[in-house]
Structure formats: C-alpha cells, structure tokens
Amino acid sequence: MNPGMKLRRSMLFLPGANAAMLSTAFVYKPDSIMFDLEDAVSLREKDAARMLVFHALRLPVYRTMETVVRINPLSTPYGLKDLEAVVRAGVDVVRLPKTDTAEDVHELEAHVERIERECGREVGSTKLMAAIESASGVINAVAIATSSKRLIGIALAGFDYVMDMQTERGDGTELFYARCAVLHAARYAKIDAFDVVWSDVNDDEGFLKEVDLIKRMGFNGKSLINPRQIDLLHNAYAPTQEEVDYAQRVVAAAAAGERQGLGVVSLNGKMIDAPVIQHARVVLQRAGASGVRQ
C-alpha cells in the first residue's frame, strides 16, 4: 500500500467513444475508473472520444472517485491533444501507454506541468501512471518507477508484453518475470503496482485464480475490462473475519503502547513493529471498503 493509503484494487477500463458507458459507469463503484483513448478507440473515433471524455470528466458524479485517462502515445498525432484535453478537464491521473524508459515519463511530465500552468491548475496536482508493455519497459522498471514524484503507480499491460516476448497468454508463466520486476520496482519507489487485464470475462474461475496469485505476490490491484469483475475482485481482496480480528488487536495494542510512551509493543508475547502495524491498517481499510470476505 502506498503512503497515501488509497485503495486501488480495481481500475475499470471504459472505451472513450462509448457515450452510454461514460454516462453510467460510475454506478459500478470501482476504486478508479479509467477512460481509454488508446486501444479501445478506432482511428476515426479519436477526436470524438476525446471530447466525450473531456465532458465526462467534468460531470459531478465522477468527482467522487479517482479518474484516470489512458492517452495515446505522445509519439502519435493524438497523444498531446489527449493530454491537453484531460488535464484541463481535471483528470486525477494520466496513464501513459507503452512506457519504455524514464525519459518517456519526463517528456509527459514536462507537458503536464506546462498545461497546468496555462490553465491555472495547481502544478503537481495531475498524477501519472506508467504502463509497462515491453521487454524494454520491464528492464527499465526501476528507472521508470522512480522517474517522477507525480507517479502513483506502474501497471503491467499483458497483451503487448507477451507479443514483444514472442509468446502468448497462458498459465501465467509467461508473465512471471515481468510481474516480479514491476512489483519490485513499485515497492522500491513506494508506489502502487497494477496487474494485467483478464480478458475472458466468462471465466470467473480463471480470473479468481489469477487474482489470488497477484494478491499473494503483493499487487495493489488489477486493471479490469468488465464491471462484473469488480465485486469478484473486491471480495477476493477482502480480509477474513479472523484477519480483521487480529488487525484490530494489533492496532489497539499499538495505540496503547503509543499512549504509554513505549518504544516496543507486544501482543500475545510477539513484538509488533511498524510493518506489522501498517499491514493491520491496510487489512482494516480493505474490510471497511468491502466488508469481510464471503
């Protein structure tokens, strides 16, 4: 969990050209909602999608949740136009696709700061996310993750990555090294890490198996392409009643120790240090958001 303790278990992709979905998707209540201007939008719809997303970002219903926009790469004719529109519309996070190097983030950050100054938005208020989609991006994951104070997370994008590796999606073996590299880079930089999309929306068993894996690895959450995956994911990340009970005892013991001015706190004969207390708070935060695992 990042220092801001913001829950980012679910990040729901919305095609930027789908006006119906843009006007209603807030009802699904993902932790973050991501308007997609890149792969989900055909070339002939790029301009229309950009305007639809611009207006959606200004709707009051989207001010109550974290908004993310995946822009087109800045190397295309659409990327900078996307960035101009969404920063001015007040997006919370810009997701940069196909991030191969730290320089890609630096270029994005320079444009964002310029736009913020031009439109009167507070400099630094637009956060960034880097999507890693290639062998180059994986190799440079630490440099990317530490490239900007605006970065709230890095995300692994599976389809382009496996294509670059000359393989295909399978049982997860093909993603093992990339997942480890991205996750370790995020933890080193103290930002969030997001796992790949599960594309077969009819395979709940496969989806939950993958969610269990990435949760145990330590990922903060997962990118999603279908609203029905949200509750499944949130429940999988929800703690058990036993975990909640223990977390409550840890937090209570830590609070008591702080009141008494104790440098070391113990519970049932075991020392409670800062990482244990932090984990307990994360457990309680997840329980507060999703309840106890069903």
Q: Give tens-digit pLDDT for 11-46.
A: 999 999 999 999 888 899 999 999 999 999 999 999
CA–CA separation, 75 and 264 (whole Å): 54
Q: Residue 270 — φ and ψ, nearest 5°?
A: -110, 135
pLDDT at 274: 83
Residue 92 pLDDT greater than 50, yes or no: yes
CA–CA separation, 131 and 133 (whole Å): 6
pLDDT at 5: 67
Q: What is the pLDDT averaged over residues 269-274? A: 82
CA–CA separation, 268 and 143 (whole Å): 42
Q: Give tens-digit pLDDT for 215-249.
A: 999 999 999 999 999 999 999 999 999 989 888 99
15 CB-near residues (< 8 Å, 6+ apart): 21, 36, 40, 41, 49
Count of C-beta atoms within a 10 Å radius of residue 26: 18
Q: Give tens-digit pLDDT for 149-164.
A: 999 999 999 899 999 9
CA–CA separation, 83 and 280 (whole Å): 38
